[in-house]
Amino acid sequence: MAVQERALPRTKVGVAERPQGGFSWGQLGRYIAVAVIVILSLGPLYWTLATSVKSGLELNFSPPTLVPHSITLQNYVTDLTQTPTFIHGLINSTIIAACTTVLALIFGSLAAYAIARIKFTGKSVVLGIILSVQMFPFIAMVGPLFVAFTGPIYIYNTYLALIIPDLVLTLPLTVWFLTSFFRDLPPDLEEAARVDGASRLRALWEVIIPLTAPGVFTVAILSFIAVWNDFLFGLTLTSDSNAQPVTVAIANFNGEHTIPWGEIAAAGVVVMVPLVIVVLILQRRIVSGLTAGAVKG
């Protein structure tokens, strides 16, 4: 009597099924990469913070201490109460960054709207030229600007001497970024506003800008941070605390016999903390604006 053989299910020889939730070398590699990036990114921040709370004696230890033995806020007190150039630098940086950001949004919005809506020959060339300005080495501008601002224009060591080159730094980003947002909005919205009697400029400010708020908001934050961190123009186009930004004021910290590393680190933390807080609070808006700008256009 013949015995009928049952057909066995075919299996792939040499291929082992990986259990769900098991070990993965790829996943381990990703975790290691993330840990390395976090350490490299936060390492300088931690060292600056640790240095800012060390006493003068501990700052001179060799080798330096990784964790402060004792925490003191004397460096912060010295910066905020006994260093008027630092306070003046904070005020100067706030004024310069705020004015530059507002002007960049105004002129950048107008230029981006014109590029996105008006049909003219060479539009892509214009956008390419605007973007190429961002790639230009800004140190090459320092000499001509110094000659111009100390000669025929006479605005050296003023807020305007820093706002003008900072606009060159922020306008390309503003125009390029907002153009992609304006281009993807349907023209019907503006036409409806113009039918109701609004001018083209009014339609821009009351219809287009509110609808592209994530992009405008992101550009404003990025522009403010770029101007706030500027050091090159502040160092070369100013001569005293009349208009010097806080980055230059920190670089001018001097000690009688030694460099006051604790006060410099405390000043760096004071300058850095407001930007960190703003970015942490508004990070969702920034990410949404960057993501929208990346997938549009």
pLDDT in tens, the chain (297 residues): 444 555 555 555 544 455 555 668 888 888 999 999 999 988 988 999 999 999 888 888 888 888 888 888 999 999 999 889 999 999 999 999 999 999 999 999 998 888 888 888 877 888 888 888 878 888 888 989 999 998 888 899 999 999 999 998 899 889 988 888 888 778 777 778 778 777 878 888 888 888 888 788 888 888 999 999 999 999 999 988 889 999 999 988 876 667 888 999 999 999 988 788 877 777 666 666 555 554 444
- 55 and 155, same domain (yes or no): no
In a domain, 12, yes or no: no
Residue 252 domain-assigned? yes
Residue 11: inside a domain:
no
Residue 67 maps to a domain = no
Tell me the two tokens of residue 153.
């224009």
Q: In terms of domains, do 55 and 105 share one?
A: no
Q: What is the pLDDT of residue 113?
A: 87
* Claim to verify: residue 175 and residue 43 sit in the same structural domain: no
Question: Are both 268 and 216 inside the same structural domain?
Answer: yes
Query: Is 17 within a domain?
Result: no
**Phi/psi at 200 (nearest 5 deg)?**
-60, -40
Please state, in angstroms and rounded to a whole number, the distance separating the CA atoms of residues 179 and 158.
32
CA–CA distance, 272 with 134 (Å, rounded to integer): 24
Whether 30 and 124 share a structural domain: no
Residues 172 and 276 reside in one and the same domain:
yes
pLDDT at 1: 44
Q: What is the structure's pLDDT at 269?
A: 92
Nearest to 56 by CA among 245, 282, 201, 256: 256
Residues 42 and 155 both lie in one domain: no
For residue 152, what is the DSSP state? T
Q: Are residues 53 and 200 in the same domain?
A: no
Asked whether residue 16 is assigned to any structural domain, the reply reads: no
Contact assessment for residue 163 and residue 102, using Cβ atoms and an 8 Å cutoff: no
Domain harbouring 269, CATH code: 1.10.3720.10
Residues 54 and 154 in one domain: no
Question: What is the spatial distance between Cα 203 and Cα 113, in angstroms, rounded to a whole number?
Answer: 11
Q: Residue 181: which of 211, 220, 222 has the closest Cα? A: 211
Instruction: Answer for the pair 223, 170: CB distance below 8 angstroms, yes or no.
Output: yes
Q: Are residues 168 and 228 in the same domain?
A: yes
Range of the domain at 120: 77-295
Structure-token pair, residue 163: 């706002």
Report how many domains make up the chain: 2
188 lies in the same domain as 259: yes
Specify if 15 maps to a domain. no
In sequence order, what DSSP letters do the residues of 111-136 get, joined into one string?
HHHHHHHS--TTHHHHHHHHHHHHHS
Residues 33 and 119 in one domain: no
pTM of the predicted model as reported, rounded to 2 decimal places:
0.81
Q: Please report whether residue 226 resides in a domain.
A: yes
